[in-house]
Amino acid sequence: MALLNASLCSSTCRIPSRPHLPLPPSVSAFSNPQTMKHQVEATRNFVLSVGESASKASFLALISASLFLADPALAFKGGGPYGAGVTRGQDLTGKDFSGKTLIKQDFKTSILRQANFKGAKLLGASFFDADLTGADLSDADLRGADFSLANVTKANLSNANLEGALATGNTSFRGSIINGADFTDVPLREDQREYLCKVADGVNPTTGNATRETLLCN
């Protein structure tokens, strides 16, 4: 009986077939060999481009990090050989900058106690709010330098040329050596001028101007 039923069903019964499901657009697109080739090529180029950009970014980051770790004084822009050096907001106590060309160098808010700037070219350099206590600025070219709010106490300014430098605010030159320094057109507070006139002496070897005259001493 079972065999009869199976025989009858094999000739009359039909197993419902699965409905045809359309392929997603992305898959259908690949059914065209030419389209598929373009898609693969575009994907490959995109991956290569991303990989190349990531590699460049990683390389630059690695170089920057290695420079910073090797010498934390490498970051800010300025003039002279320290143009790529961090000289702003840094502790540069006792550093030797003697004879260097540091035109328009940025030393804002830095600690420069006992730093050596002897004979350095510091035209237009900024020492805004910097601590130059005991620094050696002798024979330095400081024309147009900014000493606003700076602490220049007990510094050596012998024969330095400060023509046109700024010294506004609470800039202090107390205890500094100024023999032969040229203060032409430096806007000093009256109390600072009076103090410097008490210790002023000598003639600047570069400009030929007497220190007392440049301070407008009586």
Delimit the domains of the chain by residue range. Answer: 80-217
d(CA 2, CA 53): 72
Higher pLDDT, 193 or 3: 193
Question: Rounded to 5, what percent of the chain is helix, strand, coil?
Answer: 35, 10, 55
Q: How many helices (H) and strands (E) does the chain have?
A: 5, 0
What the block records as the tokens of 201 is 């002496």
Cα dist. 46→25, 39, 40, 53 in Å? Answer: 21, 11, 10, 11
* pLDDT for 172: 93
Q: What is the pLDDT of residues 112-139, one digit of tens each?
A: 999 999 999 999 999 999 999 999 999 9
Q: What is the pLDDT of residues 33-53, one digit of tens each?
A: 565 556 656 656 654 554 555
Lowest mean pLDDT among 3-12, 30-39, 184-193: 3-12
* C-alpha count within 13 angstroms, C-beta hemisphere, residue 184: 16
Place of tokens 């605010």: 169
Cα dist. 152→79, 90, 157 in Å? Answer: 22, 17, 9
Task: For domain 80-217, give its CATH number from 2.60.120.10, 2.160.20.80, 3.90.1200.10, 3.50.50.60.
Answer: 2.160.20.80
The backbone torsions φ and ψ at residue 170, rounded to the nearest 5 degrees and listed phi first, read -95, 30
Nearest to 117 by CA among 18, 89, 130, 72: 130
Altogether, the residues listed in the chain come to a count of 218
Kindly state the DSSP code that residue 211 receives in the 8-state scheme: H
* pLDDT for 129: 96
Q: Do residues 201 and 212 touch, judged by C-beta distance below 8 A?
A: yes
d(CA 118, CA 129): 20
* pLDDT for 45: 64
Nearest to 158 by CA among 175, 173, 140, 144: 140
What the block records as the tokens of 55 is 């590699």
Percent of the chain with pLDDT over 90: 58
